[in-house]
């Protein structure tokens, strides 16, 4: 792929989008960060983001070196730092990193932020005890990004991934002419209301092939869960809908790889 200033064409498009996105959300630097998902003892078990933090809370991250991939405005970097980890985080957008740094400074959190693409990480080999990739790999070239993650994580280190997902068969239905032109525009209004969805030109949901690449470095998969059969596809993210949806996915876990709309996977990374 053609490159400019060391970035691929795809990375430049992502960079342009997220620079504008950061400008529109500059006010977030002045707002307090919500740490309820980190500290609350009342857990929203049906919510995949809360499920991610329920898992992270049980890992004993105090003093561990943790890398947050594509940190955006710093939400996960700040929250993982609150769990006691030594956090490093990066993003493609300098404007997003500026917001993240201001938020961390306001909360007196010492986090090492950098500007970089996920496909070329500015870290030494075998540095991190854990790498967290939340809603970022579907914006990246998966193969080189996973190779870089494998390089910078320690032998036996933990890779935790939470991503939007769609099996290729399900995605073929989603991209059919009827769904694309007739059903989805109506569902989009139902799910997102008047808001424009946060979707870039090049992002695409992780497929089963992508997830095989993600799990390939794992010598041991410790946790895997699927969410969102209907939520954020055909129905909005209301609590009662999400509870029913989550219960269905738990009763029929074998269907997860085929009908899930989000996947959470964690595993230890082996070194050759």
The boundaries of the domain holding residue 110 are 3-269
Domain holding 53: CATH number?
A: 3.40.50.150
The bridge status of strand 7-8 relative to strand 86-91 is unpaired
pLDDT of residue 271: 72
pLDDT of residue 51: 97
Instruction: Return the H-helix or E-strand segment holding 259.
Output: helix 256-259
pLDDT of residue 189: 66
Q: Is the pLDDT of residue 173 over 80?
A: no
Place of tokens 């219960």: 247
Q: Can you tell me the distance from the alpha carbon of 178 to that of 183, in angstroms, rounded to the nearest whole number?
A: 6
Q: Is the pLDDT of residue 55 over 90?
A: yes
Q: Can you tell me the distance from the alpha carbon of 28 to that of 7, in angstroms, rounded to the nearest whole number?
A: 27
Q: Which residue has the higher pLDDT, 170 or 87?
A: 87
The count of other CB atoms within 10 Å of the CB of residue 250 is 14
Averaged pLDDT score across all residues of the chain: 91
pLDDT of residue 67: 98
Q: How confident is the model at residue 3 (pLDDT cuts 50, 70, 90)?
A: very low
pLDDT of residue 18: 94
pLDDT of residue 236: 81
Residues 126-168 have pLDDT tens digits of 999 999 999 999 999 999 999 999 999 999 999 999 999 999 9
Q: Which residue has the higher pLDDT, 14 or 169?
A: 14
Q: Fill in the DSSP letter of residue 183.
A: I
The bridge status of strand 112-115 relative to strand 86-91 is parallel
Q: How confident is the model at residue 261 (pLDDT cuts 50, 70, 90)?
A: very high
Residues 67-109 have pLDDT tens digits of 999 999 999 999 999 999 999 999 999 999 999 999 999 999 9
Name 38's Cβ contacts closer than 8 Å, sequence gap at least 6.
53, 57, 79, 82, 83
- The total domain count for the chain is 1
Quick check: 77 and 107 in contact, CB under 8 A?
no
Q: Is the pLDDT of residue 237 over 50?
A: yes
pTM, whole model, 2 decimals?
Answer: 0.92
Lowest-pLDDT range of 166-170, 226-230, 251-255? 166-170
Lowest-pLDDT range of 1-10, 76-85, 237-246? 1-10
């Amino acid at each position: 792929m053609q490159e400019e200033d060391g970035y691929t064409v795809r990375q430049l498009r992502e960079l342009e989008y997220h620079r504008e996105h950061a400008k529109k959300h500059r006010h977030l630097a002045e707002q307090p960060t919500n740490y309820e998902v980190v500290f609350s003892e009342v857990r929203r078990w049906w919510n995949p983001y809360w499920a991610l933090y329920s898992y992270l809370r049980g890992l004993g991250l105090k003093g561990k070196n943790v890398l947050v991939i594509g940190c955006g405005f710093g939400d996960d970097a700040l929250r993982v730092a609150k769990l006691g980890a030594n956090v490093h985080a990066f993003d493609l957008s300098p404007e997003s990193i500026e917001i993240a740094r201001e938020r961390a400074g306001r909360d007196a959190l010492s986090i090492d932020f950098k500007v970089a693409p996920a496909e070329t990480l500015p870290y030494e080999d075998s540095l991190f005890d854990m790498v967290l990739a939340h809603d970022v790999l579907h914006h990246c070239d998966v193969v080189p990004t996973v190779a870089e993650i494998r390089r910078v994580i320690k032998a036996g280190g933990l890779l935790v991934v939470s991503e939007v997902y769609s099996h290729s068969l399900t995605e073929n239905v989603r991209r059919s002419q009827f769904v694309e032109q007739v059903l989805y525009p109506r569902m989009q209004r139902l799910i997102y209301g008047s808001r424009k969805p946060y979707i870039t030109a090049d992002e695409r949901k992780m497929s089963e092939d992508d997830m095989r690449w993600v799990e390939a470095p794992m010598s041991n998969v410790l946790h895997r869960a699927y969410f969102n059969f209907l939520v954020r596809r055909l129905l909005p993210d209301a609590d009662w809908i999400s509870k029913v949806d989550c219960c269905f996915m738990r009763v029929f876990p074998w269907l997860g790889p085929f009908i899930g709309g989000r996947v959470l996977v964690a595993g230890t990374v082996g070194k050759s």
